[in-house]
Amino acid sequence: MNSRLTAFGNQLMEVHVWLRDQLEDLRDDVDAYFAGDGLLPRDLRAHCLSFCSALTRHHTGEDRVAFPEIAEEFPELRPVISQLKSDHNRIDWILGALDKLLTGLPDEPDQAAKAQVIAELDGLSAIMETHFTYEEKKLITVLNGLDVPEWRTDRPDFLLLDED
């Protein structure tokens, strides 16, 4: 078997590690802003937009490319895919709420805004972690076994890192 083919699940895990790291970087920037020694609000929003876009691209790619392929080959996994898509919707909602909060940040940090932003980041972190763990448990082996020739020549969005 082609090593690229057998690595799709492993590549997914690499993307998940990268997204976790990106969320941690965003959290560090948010903490620094609220400590009064971080990014300006507009730069914090730009960082959030970059992270949110990467996470959305990943999930949209799964919904449009990976999940239909998996559902066709492994119909018994359709309930798993349904749960993962539901998670994607919840994550999208949290990303929207986080963006709205960051868009409204004043130049000078305030404690009320801090509590709201931290709560959204905590919620996002929790759902991302449970989502990624569940997805990895249920789909890594399946993805490593899929034979999708076009994925070998044109890497799908759900497997892209920002530097790709």
In this predicted structure, what is the pLDDT of residue 102?
94
Q: Give, in degrees to the nearest 5, the angle at Cα 83 between 3 and 128.
A: 70
| pTM flag (> 0.75) | yes
The tens-digit pLDDT sequence of the chain (164 residues) is 344 444 789 899 999 999 999 999 999 999 999 999 888 899 999 999 999 999 999 999 999 999 999 999 999 999 999 999 999 999 999 999 999 999 999 888 888 999 999 999 999 999 999 999 999 999 999 998 888 878 878 878 888 887 55
Q: Do residues 63 and 158 touch, judged by C-beta distance below 8 A?
A: no
Rama region for 36: left / alpha / beta (φ>0; ψ in -120 to 50; rest): left
Residue spans of the domains in the chain: they are 3-159
**How far is CA 15 from each of CA 20, 28, 57, rounded to the nearest angstrom?**
9, 20, 11
The correct CATH number of 3-159 out of 3.40.50.11540, 1.10.10.10, 3.40.50.620, 1.20.120.520 is 1.20.120.520
Q: Do residues 71 and 78 touch, judged by C-beta distance below 8 A?
A: yes
In this predicted structure, what is the pLDDT of residue 157?
85
